[in-house]
Amino acid sequence: MLGASGFIGRWVARACVQQGARVLAAVREPERVPAPFQAGLELLRADLSAPGSAARLVAEHAPDVVLNAAGYGVAKDEGDPGRMQRLNVELVQELVEALIQLGPDDARVRLVHLGSALEAGPGPASLDEAAPLAPSEPYGATKAAATRALDSARQSLPNLVARTFTVFGGGERPGRLVPGLLAARTSSVRIPLSAGTQKRDFVYVEELARALVELARVDAAAVRARRYPFDAPCLNVASGVLTSVRDFVTAFAAEFALAPERLGFGDLPPLTTEMHHPPVPIERLGAALGWRPSAGPARGLAELAARLLEGSA
């Protein structure tokens, strides 16, 4: 497991442990993995930004499956082009070459990689997984390059790219919507928000983690042969339903007892970098898993509230 100290990665690692897997979690700073998420993990200190680091890990530990949630460029302070190229592209290429050298394993997918909606571009006409990728900024471009490389290597190394959209839950970076709303519970002042008319496909992080773990069990022969639903370079991992940010915030306020009059919709201008997209098709995901993430954020918000209450988020 790569990226277990990050928001999504920690939940994926936990889901693997809960399924009885032996999980080797390679992270630069093991102490950054929150204590509630360390149970059952074998933490390995590794600087994945160093060329050759991933290849050494694969050669030394010979993993059956690698789940790659490592990446760089989402946060506002992550703008180093060289580091972005290394962690989003070269690291993936290194994993492919190292896993191929371990020899074939026809039983299951060998690599599950976390992709990004930004690979599709800021305003795609279609988000079908087979549609051309047209990223418009560096992060999306590097993630798209990794997706293309993995698609080209699929015959030699069974792999799947899980393209994510708006994932929410415990452990998100400060500055994002949910952490800001959670912090607002401790005050009574008005909460500045945009108009909230932009629509997103919200998926709760534990449902995403479950999907990634189950994708690692997918039959490798079907992936190699590119049989439906694996006939595209990636799989959308989403709910298939768009929810406006305003409706998400309103549902959050109801779940966490924030007074409606505190919601300052329209107090902030819209972001110029907002991605506007059509509904996300998830037919391939449903065919691959036999289930789909919950439509709308209500269930995820209830799960988040329960995790916070028990102190496990």
What is the mean predicted confidence (pLDDT) over 27-56?
Answer: 95
Indicate whether 282 pLDDT > 90.
Answer: yes
Segment 230-247 shows an average pLDDT of 97
Return d(Cα 127, Cα 191) in angstroms, integer: 33
Helices 245-255, 298-310: axis angle to 10 degrees equals: 40
Query: Mean pLDDT lowest for which of 98-112, 124-138, 226-240?
Result: 98-112
Residue 105 has pLDDT above 80, yes or no: no
Mean pLDDT score, 282-295: 97
Q: For residues 166, 169, 175 and 181, what is the CA-based torsion angle, rounded to 10 degrees?
A: 110
Q: Is the pLDDT of residue 104 over 80?
A: no
What is the three-class DSSP state of 245? Answer: helix
Closest Cα to residue 220, out of 63, 104, 113? 104
Give me the pLDDT at residue 72, please.
96
- Write the burial class of residue 165 (CB in 10 Å: 0-12 exposed, 13-18 middle, 19+ buried): buried
Q: What is the pLDDT of residue 123?
A: 82
3-state SS class at 164: strand
Q: Which pLDDT score is estimated for 268?
A: 95
For residues 27 and 33, the answer to whether their CB atoms sit within 8 Å is yes
Instruction: Identify the pLDDT of residue 107.
Output: 79
Q: Residue 163's beta-bridge partner residues?
A: 115, 236
Mean pLDDT across the stretch 194-222? 96
Judge whether residue 272 has pLDDT over 90.
no
The model's confidence at residue 199, banded by pLDDT at 50, 70 and 90, is: very high
Q: What is the pLDDT of residue 313?
A: 76
Find, among 118, 124, 123, the residue nearest to 147 by Cα. 118
Least confident of 3-12, 24-33, 96-105: 96-105
Most confident of 102-111, 255-264, 274-283: 255-264
Kindly tell me if the per-residue pLDDT of 255 is higher than 80. yes
d(CA 153, CA 140): 20
What are the angstrom distances between the C-alpha of 299 and each of 119, 158, 294, 302?
28, 33, 7, 5
What's the pLDDT score for residue 70?
97
**CA distances in angstroms from 74 to 218, 233, 295, listed in the order given:** 28, 22, 25
- Residues 55 and 270: their CA atoms lie apart, in Å, by 43
Mean pLDDT of 280-287: 98
pLDDT exceeds 80 at position 17: yes
What mean pLDDT, rounded, does the chain reach?
95
Evaluate whether 165 touches 234 at the Cβ level (below 8 Å). Answer: no
Encode 28-49: b = buried (16+ Cβ within 10 Å), e = exposed.
Answer: eebeebeeebbeebebbebebb
Domains parsed from the chain with CATH numbers: 7-170+198-241+272-310 (3.40.50.720)
**How far is residue 273 from each of residues 43, 63, 122, measured CA to CA in Å?**
36, 38, 8
**Residue 279: both structure tokens together:** 């509904």
Give the pLDDT confidence of 54-91 residue by residue, as tens digits: 999 999 999 999 999 999 998 888 999 999 999 999 99
| The model's pTM | 0.96
Stretch 43-57: mean pLDDT, rounded? 97
Q: Are the beta carbons of 25 and 37 closer than 8 angstroms?
A: no
| pLDDT value for 75 | 87
Rounded-to-integer distance, Cα 279 and Cα 241, Å: 6
Task: Report which residue type is found at 227.
Answer: R
312 pLDDT band, cuts 50/70/90, is: confident
